Amino acid sequence: MKYKKGDLVQILDDIKDAYEEVWHKKGDVLPIAYIAEDGEGLMFDSKLGIHYSRVKLVESHNNTGKEIERKFLVTSKDYLKYRIDNHMYIQGYLSGAGPANHKNVVRVRIDGTFGKAWITVKGVNTGCTRMEYEYEIPVKDAKQLINLCEGIVDKNRHFCIYKRKNWYVDEFLGPNSPLVVAEIELKKENEKFQLPPWVGEEVTNSFSYYCSMLAYHPYNEWDPIITGIKK
């Protein structure tokens, strides 16, 4: 059967029960059309009769007023087996760089891969929940705002799917290398999900691992006993 672009949801219905079995036989690129639970992930496969190139995965940007997120340290590069896309980010903090548990944050982010930019306002964490409002802005404006920021963070964000949940794996660059942190965004604090085999300690409440803190106190400046980095 030949599918066309408008038939993507039907394709998902046809293959959603089998996608994980197929995936791991093909390496680190998802070889089927699959939409994750929140509608972000999308791939095309010519074997299904779809003759389109890969669509870039774009993170869903939040205007619901609330972010519920949990963070975990990444213990191996096995997350690459679950990756469906990756984007290069540069982000800076107009305010709030430093101890994030005591400050509201105003962040500017540029997605260098997709060519878009956003300004984000985040409130103080209460558990794994905090206020968040995010708005797209012109990239040229974002570049000017980045120059005004208190701290800068560069990272390669890997978009992964595990057990039909989207995971964002941030591979930090520059002074925050070789830190790698995984995040999952939830609809409610007690939402159930399975941990991937490549995550370890939860650091949701360890604010040193938040980007607003890493911009102020980079990972390379931490105690070597914690990081394992030889000075």
The model's pLDDT over 190-204, given as tens digits with 9 standing for 90+, comes to 889 999 999 999 999
Mind telling me the catalytic residues?
A: 93
- Whether residue 63 is predicted with pLDDT greater than 60 in this model: the reply is no
Query: What CATH number should be reported for the domain whose range is 67-227?
Result: 2.40.320.10
Confidence of residue 117 (pLDDT cuts 50, 70, 90): very high
Average pLDDT across the chain, whole number: 74
> Which residues lie across from 180 on neighbouring strands?
171
CA distance 99 to 16: 42
State whether residue 142 is helix, strand or coil.
helix
Amino acid at 190: N
Torsion of CA 99, 133, 117, 84, to 10 degrees: 90
The DSSP call for residue 52 is: -
State whether residue 209 is helix, strand or coil.
helix
Span(s) in the chain for CATH 2.40.320.10:
67-227
Confidence of residue 102 (pLDDT cuts 50, 70, 90): low
